[in-house]
Amino acid sequence: MGLHPGTSLDVPALIGALTLEEKAALLDGADFWRTPAVERLGIPALTLTDGPHGLRKQAGEADHLGLNDSVPATCFPPAAGLASSWDPELLTRVGAALGRECRAAEVAVLLGPGVNMKRSPLCGRNFEYFSEDPLLAGELGAALVDGVQSQGVGTSLKHFAANNQETDRMTVSADVDERTLREIYLPAFERIVTGSQPWTVMCAYNRINGTYASEDPWLLTTVLRDEWGFRGLVVSDWGAVHRRDAGLAAGLDLEMPSSGGAGTRIILDAVRAGTLSEKDVDRAATRVLELVGRALRALGPGQGFDAAAHHALAREAATASAVLLKNDGILPLPRTGGPIAVIGEFARTPRFQGAGSSQVNPTRVDTALDALRDALDGAREVVFAPGFTGESGAADAALIEEAVRAAAGAEVAVVFLGLPPAAESEGYDRTHLDLPAGQVALLHAVADANPRVVVVLSNGSVVTVAPWQDRAGAVLEGWLLGQAGGAATADLLLGTAAPAGRLAETIPVRYEHNPAIGAFPGEHGHVRYGEGLLIGYRWYDAHRLPVAYPFGHGLSYTSFAYGDLAVTVDGRSVRVTVTVTNTGARPGTEVVQVYVTDPVAGVYRPEQELRGFARVTLAPGESRAVTVSLGDRAFAYWHPVLRRWTVEGGAFGIRVGASSRDIRLETTIELPGDDLTTPLTPGATVDAWLAHPAAGAWLRERLGDDLVEAMFLDPANGRMMRAIPLQRLSRFPGFPVTEPQVEEAAARFA
């Protein structure tokens, strides 16, 4: 049944008119990508389809993993690239373009963005995720959602939650404490839900602490709806449903793809058995109908999009996504001079997106080799040698010899290296962080022939650069840049555009330094998040580990100075203002990053955490004041006993810099704190009793100051004695407070 734009649904009336069987059927997919229609009541089907960096609507028989062709669509840079732009405004525009393409294809919901954290650099799907930092992922994800939904098309925020690996992703239990969940793995979802209200949230495949995400009432109802106020529909990842009746009770509304009626039968049997109520079915069916009603306002046949304009936007996004890691002055390349040797198959056959369910059929593809030749227009000779085969990256003596000849006769060699397509994909994780050995051998051979080398990388997640980067004068991290990445790369190499990307994830010196060593991808069905809060730069800072390039790093073709740091405090709202000056000879964009420290706290806190950022573009010599506002959550932690966000009053450090390890200015502020008094129990330690404002006075009165001094404040044994639970101490012979007195006091002071 076709959609009729501008119409609406009377959802309460439809719920009253539908039979129980029809309502239950609405909660199951009609096929691989569509929701069911109810023709007798005029309820149309909706199409949901893969994203998140481009529309993947399949033509003909549908499948989840892209075995069949999809309709042509603009392939924007995947999230790994877009995240390096640190540019919410750009992501809003990309999202709006995606929304327009969805409308043209009559797609109601684009499945994305993915905002799972990059816990391990080996996760095979890291190219689809934004960052190792939840604040950055949340801000960028919200911008993309806002853009898509501005066009009357829904998004599906995924994968909720703790889906941080592909190994055993359907069954593995992510075993992680609540504080770590709240501070690291949930905040990006929270930011997007509370600020942007995505139309749908997609539950993850995995279990969390033993419970499948698809049937976890704490996750899908308590946190998502009761705490965050989510008003949309919860859809399963494709094939994520374990027990359909338990999922419905927990808050999972729609099962995708079609279960062939199995899910509907389970729901109906549960209602008849009394383990589910018809109200449970009505609640979920209402959400499905509300989604249909929303989509009807915008979708309909005959809509189109400007493919050329979207390609131009993809080029702008690709330019903003690349990160200049290193430059000894060799870049930008002059437009006149001797020959340029372009080496590496990726210059001719670009790798511009990842594999799996997000694979887009692009409307066109630019190559860096063609773009360089077109831009130079004969002013400099461009000689090409493939150097390796793109699929394997393996060494080939003849290809290396050809590349060496090209490099030896050139003024500069631009070497395109990266991960072959099979190295990273949905469905499996990587086994190492290294480039293919054949590519590294190629680089060394080229550098031996010509020391003036620029390396351009194509990879969806980090690779080790430390073993070989000394052979290159410049390294441009290109990530996967989408269909216009070739032209964007040429713009950056020639200085037509200025590099502005900043790393959204740390590049470690060695794989063995990463936080998840020994706890990834788990064993016997469990993966233990033993590093807790310390993922990404938090880990490297805590362990004082060297890194190849830090979180937030990125060079420009100019330089920036910071000055005039001013911090104003209004209650627990803080405004950080700094003046940034372009001290170089070219225009450029700086990303000002604000980190917060809490040097003295009642719980362990990371060394520093990103709490705000702002981009500023400046002409040579121009100065501008940049302000970043911080709310009280910038200073809060999740209290493991009180189980709420808490600001512990006292001193906080404000650090402003160009990366997590390039802090330019810092200062200290004082903030008022929350009441951190924790409920007392008889089993609480003497330390906890003495620290309690009321119970401490009660205990001192009964013991007397002399006994307190002798027993609990004694330099030799006091610390040991204070660690004993008061209830147990009350059982000791001769102790002046009895166990019933402790129990009565605990009830009074709780």
**Strand ranges inside 403-556, DSSP E:** 412-418, 453-458, 474-477, 507-508, 526-528, 547-549
How many angstroms separate the CA atoms of 388 and 393, rounded? 6
574 membership: H or E segment, kind and range: strand 573-582
Contact criterion met (CB below 8 Å) for 490 and 523: no
Cα distance between residue 616 and residue 625, in whole Å: 9
Alpha-carbon span 102 to 51, nearest angstrom: 10
- Give catalytic status of residue 237 as yes or no: yes
Catalytic residue among 87, 237, 245, 541: 237
Distance CA 117, CA 163 (A): 8
Residue with tokens 């040579």: 620
Reported for 719-727, long-range contacts at CB under 8 A and 24+ positions apart, including other chains, are: 721/686, 722/685, 722/686, 722/687, 722/690, 723/685, 723/686, 723/687, 724/685, 724/686, 725/682, 725/683, 725/684, 725/685, 725/686, 726/682, 726/683, 726/684, 726/685, 726/686, 726/689, 726/699, 727/682, 727/683
The C-alpha atoms of residue 33 and residue 309 are separated, in whole angstroms, by: 28
| C-beta separation of 238 from 63 below 8 A | no
CA distances from 335 to 289, 509, 620 (A): 59, 34, 21
> Is the CB of residue 321 less than 8 Å from the CB of residue 15?
no
455 neighbors 418 (Cβ within 8 angstroms): no
Taking each helix axis from N to C terminus, what angle separates 739-749 and 695-703, rounded to the nearest 10 degrees?
160
Q: Is the peptide bond before 515 cis (omega within 30 degrees of 0)?
A: no
Give me the active site residues, please: 237
